[in-house]
Amino acid sequence: MPSEIPFIKPSFPSSADLANDIDEIVQSNWYTNFGPKEKQFVGSLENYLGKELSKQVSVAVLASGTAALIAATSCILGRGDCDRLLLMPSFSFIAVPQAAIWNGYWPWFIDIDSDHWQPCLSSARMALESSRDRVAGILLANTLGVGNPEIGRWEDLAKEWELPLIIDSAAGFGSRYQDGSHLGSRGDCEIFSFHATKPFGIGEGGALVSTNRQLIDQVNQFQNFGFDNSRVSHQLGMNSKLSELSAAIGLRQLSGLDGRLATRRQAYDTYRAALIDAGVTFQQNAENSSQFCASCCTESPETRDRVVQILAAQGVQARQYYNPPLHLHPYFSKGIGFCKMSDLSVTEDICSRIVSLPIHDYMEKRDIHRVAEVVRQGCQSGS
Ligand SMILES: *Cc1c(COP(=O)(O)O)cnc(C)c1O
């Protein structure tokens, strides 16, 4: 059997480069708490994300994407009394409702749109029309790191109902909205994850990005116990800072990012071309993303199960993002707290048909064709 194709294959800076970084950090004798590497990393991220924008974006880096979500919710909404809810998709990663609950808010799971698998505007509107006073804010997602084609309409909805809009763009560092701008500048803020599994991975890390400088200052206090410059606390905080070594890795990863993203996009285009008449559909605007993975929907749940089985038998690691959807995880399905659920039939339908194919930096073309051929076999063998 040919060798196994892993779902994720991170590329990391060389150990020689990292040895240089460690040397510099030890020379400076500064390991965390907004040191020189962290400052440089923040500046580089601001330049990268802001380069084609007319407005300035500001960045705070944190210990993880989850920490960034918790900080965003805490700094924008304040601590809740566990009696109000945040609208969020069930078709997302479990860190999103967890960030809400850690801040004293319960999730209200809304549905997604079958066209683009992003949160559904009319599902949100229905929730608001029935129970506006129960809702404290919106935790939107750029699903699978892909820029939401309706982002402007979400900003309008949030404004109309006077609700904060926090956007989880975790897997989408380097992705673009349909107007060509990088993810990062929309809503009240956007958060990213730099987990090793993401296209921009440093191990563990995350960022919160906003056009609101004051919010970023507040987040930097939040992640350092709520301390201001005189080490006096004016707000709830915690420790969720990024270490100097992680920031150094981030700087190395950022310098080669565009080249790696280009090869990931080529991999995605190759999948799409190879599967054009195989009976699978891809996500709208995914071609402009950093390609966390290549997710596609088969025509039926039976076909998906067959495709998944054949992939495994042929040594190809695939996943099903995000199956099970959040509302079917036992913690939520048992009806925890005041957790609410809209009609989630599109979410359940997409989850029953989705399969996520591997994309690596510098993935071999013949490996992509091998995966696509197996998917094609799975799609055909039942018909
Ligand atoms: C990865 C991910 C997170 C969590 O980020 P961590 O850095 O692992 O804490 C949150 N939301 C989404 C959508 C993700 O994909």
* Distance separating alpha carbons of residues 74 and 189, to the nearest angstrom: 12
* pLDDT for 335: 83
Nearest CA to ligand 1 atom 14: 170
Instruction: Judge whether residue 52 has pLDDT over 90.
Output: no
- Decide the pairing of beta strands 206-210 and 58-62: antiparallel
CB atoms within 10 A of CB 155: 16
Pocket of ligand 1 (CB under 6 A): 64-66, 92-93, 95-96, 141, 168, 170-171, 193, 195, 206
Instruction: Judge whether residue 57 has pLDDT over 90.
Output: yes
Cis peptide before 358 (omega within 30 of 0): no
Average pLDDT for 21-49: 98
Instruction: Judge whether residue 356 has pLDDT over 90.
Output: yes
Instruction: Judge whether residue 337 has pLDDT over 90.
Output: no
The packing angle between helices 213-222 and 65-77, to 10°, is 110
Instruction: Judge whether residue 60 has pLDDT over 80.
Output: yes
Q: Indicate the DSSP class of residue 326.
A: G
Token pair listed for 78? 């304040």
Length of the chain in terms of residues written: 383
Nearest to 332 by CA among 85, 123, 161, 115: 85
Ligand 1 centroid–CA 307 distance in Å is 26
Instruction: Judge whether residue 68 has pLDDT over 60.
Output: yes
Average pLDDT for 362-376: 97
Closest atom, ligand 1, to C-alpha of 69: 10
* pLDDT for 336: 84
CB atoms within 10 A of CB 174: 26
Q: What is the pTM of this model?
A: 0.97
Closest atom, ligand 1, to C-alpha of 66: 9
Which residue from 7, 64, 66 has its CB within 8 A of the most atoms of ligand 1, so it is best to mutate?
66
Ligand 1 centroid–CA 28 distance in Å is 32
Which residue from 142, 195, 200, 322 has its CB within 8 A of the most atoms of ligand 1, so it is best to mutate?
195
Q: Indicate the DSSP class of residue 34.
A: S
Nearest CA to ligand 1 atom 7: 65
Distances (CA, A) of 6 to 74, 192, 203, 286, 367: 37, 23, 18, 21, 11
* Distance separating alpha carbons of residues 317 and 378, to the nearest angstrom: 15
Ligand 1 centroid–CA 65 distance in Å is 5
* Distance separating alpha carbons of residues 294 and 367, to the nearest angstrom: 14
Average pLDDT for 12-20: 97
* pLDDT for 282: 98
* Distance separating alpha carbons of residues 242 and 74, to the nearest angstrom: 18
The packing angle between helices 365-380 and 301-313, to 10°, is 130
Average pLDDT for 117-146: 98
CB distance 212 to 52 below 8 Å = no
For residue 140, the SS3 value is strand
pLDDT digits (tens, 9 = 90+) for 135-152: 999 999 999 999 999 999
Ligand 1 centroid–CA 96 distance in Å is 8
Helix residue spans in 211-300 (DSSP H): 213-222, 244-255, 257-274
Least confident of 297-311, 325-339, 351-365: 325-339
Q: Based on the number of CB atoms within 10 Å of its own CB, is 162 exposed (0-12), middle (13-18) or buried (19 or more)? A: exposed
Ligand 1 centroid–CA 355 distance in Å is 19
Average pLDDT for 12-31: 98
Closest atom, ligand 1, to C-alpha of 64: 7
* Distance separating alpha carbons of residues 169 and 175, to the nearest angstrom: 9
Average pLDDT for 233-247: 97
CB distance 115 to 284 below 8 Å = yes
* pLDDT for 53: 87
* pLDDT for 382: 64
* pLDDT for 383: 55
Confidence of residue 48 (pLDDT cuts 50, 70, 90): very high
CB distance 124 to 91 below 8 Å = no
Ligand 1 centroid–CA 192 distance in Å is 7
* Distance separating alpha carbons of residues 159 and 141, to the nearest angstrom: 17
* pLDDT for 63: 98
Give me the chain's average pLDDT, please.
97
* Distance separating alpha carbons of residues 108 and 340, to the nearest angstrom: 5
Which residue from 193, 198, 204 has its CB within 8 A of the most atoms of ligand 1, so it is best to mutate?
193
Confidence of residue 293 (pLDDT cuts 50, 70, 90): very high
Main-chain dihedrals φ then ψ at residue 74, nearest 5 degrees: -65, -45
* Distance separating alpha carbons of residues 99 and 74, to the nearest angstrom: 9
Ligand 1 centroid–CA 123 distance in Å is 24
Ligand 1 centroid–CA 380 distance in Å is 34
Nearest to 235 by CA among 60, 74, 65: 74
Confidence of residue 381 (pLDDT cuts 50, 70, 90): confident
Ligand 1 centroid–CA 66 distance in Å is 6
Q: What percent of the chain has pLDDT over 70?
A: 99
Closest atom, ligand 1, to C-alpha of 197: 1
Average pLDDT for 195-223: 98
